Amino acid sequence: MRVLEHFESLQNRKPCQISGSDLPHVLKMRKNLCEAQGLNEFHIPDILLNRLVAAGAREHPPVCAILGGILGQEVFKAISGKGEPIKNFFYFNAADGKGIIDDIPPPASVC
């Protein structure tokens, strides 16, 4: 999402004013942002950006509901001290309804 937000900001576009023709520029933006953050590009797959660009201005209330539920669950875990929290990244694929948890450590310069 930050890749798309950064692209929209640099192109002076309003949110969701993006189309399939922008995908090559978005992929280049991902490469630049990942290099700047010390991340490997494989953490943001091409297919994910392709789907986000293709979605355009569509709203996704079911996804918001699912992610809100997961966030609420994490708040309860933090307050109660029970249960293993999500590491630091959660990727949800709306196409198949599955989520992936990934632990991405900070860049070496931050540690």
Which residues, listed in sequence order, are joined to residue 100 by a DSSP beta bridge?
Answer: 91
Residue 111 pLDDT more than 60? no
Phi, psi values for residue 91, rounded to 5°: -110, 125
What digits encode the pLDDT tens for the residues 20-78? 888 899 899 899 988 888 888 888 888 888 887 877 666 667 777 888 888 898 888 88
Phi, psi values for residue 99, rounded to 5°: -125, 150
pTM, whole model, 2 decimals? 0.52
Domains and CATH numbers, the chain: 2-102 (3.40.50.12550)
CB 41 within 8 A of CB 30: yes
pLDDT greater at residue 85 or residue 39: 39
Single out the residue of 69, 110, 107, 62 nearest to residue 86, CA to CA. 69
Q: What is the pLDDT of residue 49?
A: 84
Confidence of residue 9 (pLDDT cuts 50, 70, 90): confident
What digits encode the pLDDT tens for the residues 89-109? 777 776 677 888 887 776 666
Helix 46-55 / helix 23-37 crossing angle, nearest 10 deg:
130
Q: What is the pLDDT of residue 3?
A: 84
CB 44 within 8 A of CB 3: yes
CB 30 within 8 A of CB 49: yes
